Structure 1
Amino acid sequence: MSDESDLDLAHRLADLAGEIAMGHVAAGVGEVRTKSDGSPVTPADRRIERELRELVARERPRDAFTGEEFGSRGHNPRRWIIDAIDGTRSFLSGEPEWGTLIALAQEDRVRLGLVRAPALARRWWAVPGGGAWTVADRGAVGRSESPRRLSVTATGRLDRASVGIWPPPRRIADHIRPAAAELAAVAGRAIPALDWTGRDSATPTPPKPSTGSGTCHGGLLVATGRLDAFLLVGAGPWDIAALVPIVREAGGAFSDLAGRDRYDTGAALFSNARVHDEALGALRTG
């Protein structure tokens, strides 16, 4: 399949997900359940993933599929990796910073990434070598405005960089928290501004770095030039994979905390390419 054909399918998957999600917003989200990791899941999460699985099975019957709610299907080197609703807590609270994350990987390399945030009326996408793009999302893609190319910041030093970190300290595993605290300590500014050592456990949960930004994921803050770096920990591959080509095609860098090109190790560092190695060094020191 060509990148154009796969990208067209990704846009159609995103359209379907948005239609379902906004229908649930209008009708009420329904019964909310708590998963084993303490995160909420709604009927919209489950319905979106089921219907996207069905669409991929019809259009790409040989492709494998991995989703947050129902796990993995198939063993083909081509694998769709989807988070039906990234930011379910925002979805439930009526905040607009939630969206559907869609990635296509081949031989563990992400070949396509697309994010659609229906409540923000915007989408972002990239394929390797094609640039990273965004467009206002009112109706079919590209009809309301011309897509705009994304670009990361040019900040060259970590002590002058704005760095987002998520989740807050009390939700970060003990063995990772010192690394997050070290990154926050050496960055010019850490967002949110917290005691990242976790000693202040009584601090109320702060808003995500993306709250009020017009994006639904911290990695998009890097790709759109609003943050110099973003550290995400305790994440699944569906939280990370779609952002990899978007950040890289915007001129940025991605790795796990060991510096590897892996989206399945539970943590991700997105940054402009100039501060990436320094940020990794801080994480390793921690």
Structure 2
Amino acid sequence: MTDSTDLALAHCLADQADDVARHYFRAPGLRAEDKRDGSPVTEADREIEQALRASIRAEHPGDAFVGEEFGAHGQSSRRWIIDAIDGTASFLAGEPEWSTLIALEEHGAVTMGMVSAPALGRRWWAAPGGAAWMGPCPSDPSAPPRQLTLTAGGNAKDAAIGIWPPPSRLSETERAVAARLAAGTAAVLPAVDWSTVDPTTPPPRKPSTGSGTCHGALLVATGKADAFLLLGAGPWDIAALIPIVEEAGGTFSDLSGQRRTDTGAALFARPGLHQQLLNMAEAPN
């Protein structure tokens, strides 16, 4: 179980990431390279991941580490899972909805999650049994954090769901899942045809754009969406969000109903909706 020192370290790591990111954000001449999956990466992504790995090694030399940019290092029952900048495209565009995701996994279970969005001035965090919180970033004693608490979601047919990434970045099987959820719920963001790829359609905006959060799962945790499906994801895209959504009262699983971060799919939902949505996502016999 994560103790207070781990959570304190996570806040320090988030502060460190924020400082590096602010140095690069909206800086003239910031360039990106395309990775093999077509997503962008910048010097800021790499510098943050290297800095956090060094800080974790200094505090807990026996802990393992996995990050999006430099992969896995070490073997341990404790593993830190880092996404240096989630939303690099927004970061490059000078838009504020990007964040650093920090999670701690112990004996295969995520026991702490932290999301820091310095350009929005907000941070979200949680550990099992310790509730989910949203507070200012950097911390401000005059503005204490607010506990996140979700109410039941009712019928999935009335739900608003976010799905990401867009159809052009999904496999045929993934598009079919997304299309079934879009057809079975009341509203979907982005509002596109999830069953096909239309090269003439401009790239849609993420479900979180304009919401004041920077990840679709935070829309669920803060009660601004009923559910969020993330496809083609790595553990670093998912892990930090699990405690935040669950401690707020929501639910998480992959599309088979397992609480795993290594299958590429993550479904976050308001309480009472999860199984309904999983049933809806299943291919008909």
Scaled by the length of structure 2, the TM-score of the pair is 0.97
1:191-210 superposed matches below 5 A? 191-210=189-208
Q: Which residue of 2 aligns with 1:166?
A: 164
- Unaligned segments of structure 1, at least 5 residues: none
**2:173 match: secondary structure:** coil
Is 1:53 aligned to 2:49, yes or no? no
**2:111 match: secondary structure:** strand
Deviation at 1:153, TM superposition (A): 4.1
Q: 1:177-198, CA deviations, whole angstroms, 9 ceiling, x for partnerless residues? A: 1011000000111111111101
Determine if contact 1:136/1:144 at 8 Å carries over to the other structure: no
1:187 to 168, 185, 202: 185
Q: Which residue of 2 aligns with 1:231?
A: 229
Relative distance call for 1:274 and 1:201 in structure 2 (3 A) is farther
Deviation at 1:221, TM superposition (A): 0.2
Cα distance in 1 between the residues matched to 2:29 and 2:44: 7
1:20-31 superposed matches below 5 A? 20-25=20-25, 27-28=27-28, 30-31=30-31
1:140-159 superposed matches below 5 A? 141-159=139-157
Q: Which residue of 1 aligns with 2:253?
A: 255
Stretch of structure 1 that moved more, 40-49 or 197-206:
197-206
Give the letter aligned to residue 172 of structure 1: L
- Unaligned segments of structure 2, at least 5 residues: none
Deviation at 1:200, TM superposition (A): 3.3
Q: Which residue of 1 aligns with 2:89?
A: 89
Deviation at 1:30, TM superposition (A): 2.7
Relative distance call for 1:78 and 1:185 in structure 2 (3 A) is same
Deviation at 1:42, TM superposition (A): 0.3
Cα distance in 1 between the residues matched to 2:92 and 2:278: 34
Q: Which residue of 1 aligns with 2:115?
A: 115
Deviation at 1:142, TM superposition (A): 4.5
Deviation at 1:204, TM superposition (A): 0.9
Q: 1:151-201, CA deviations, whole angstroms, 9 ceiling, x for partnerless residues? A: 234321111100000011111111211011000000111111111101534
Deviation at 1:273, TM superposition (A): 2.0
Determine if contact 2:150/2:249 at 8 Å carries over to the other structure: yes
**1:279 match: secondary structure:** helix
Q: 1:89-115, CA deviations, whole angstroms, 9 ceiling, x for partnerless residues? A: 000011110000000001110000000
Determine if contact 1:65/1:80 at 8 Å carries over to the other structure: yes
Cα distance in 2 between the residues matched to 1:178 and 1:25: 37
Relative distance call for 1:39 and 1:13 in structure 2 (3 A) is same
Is 1:265 aligned to 2:263, yes or no? yes
Q: 1:241-279, CA deviations, whole angstroms, 9 ceiling, x for partnerless residues? A: 000000000000000011001011111000012110010
Give the letter aligned to residue 5 of structure 1: T
Cα distance in 2 between the residues matched to 1:245 and 1:2: 11
Cα distance in 2 between the residues matched to 1:2 and 1:103: 11
**1:111 match: secondary structure:** strand
Q: Which residue of 1 aligns with 2:125?
A: 125
Cα distance in 1 between the residues matched to 2:170 and 2:25: 30
Cα distance in 1 between the residues matched to 2:274 and 2:85: 28
Deviation at 1:39, TM superposition (A): 0.5
Relative distance call for 1:256 and 1:215 in structure 2 (3 A) is same
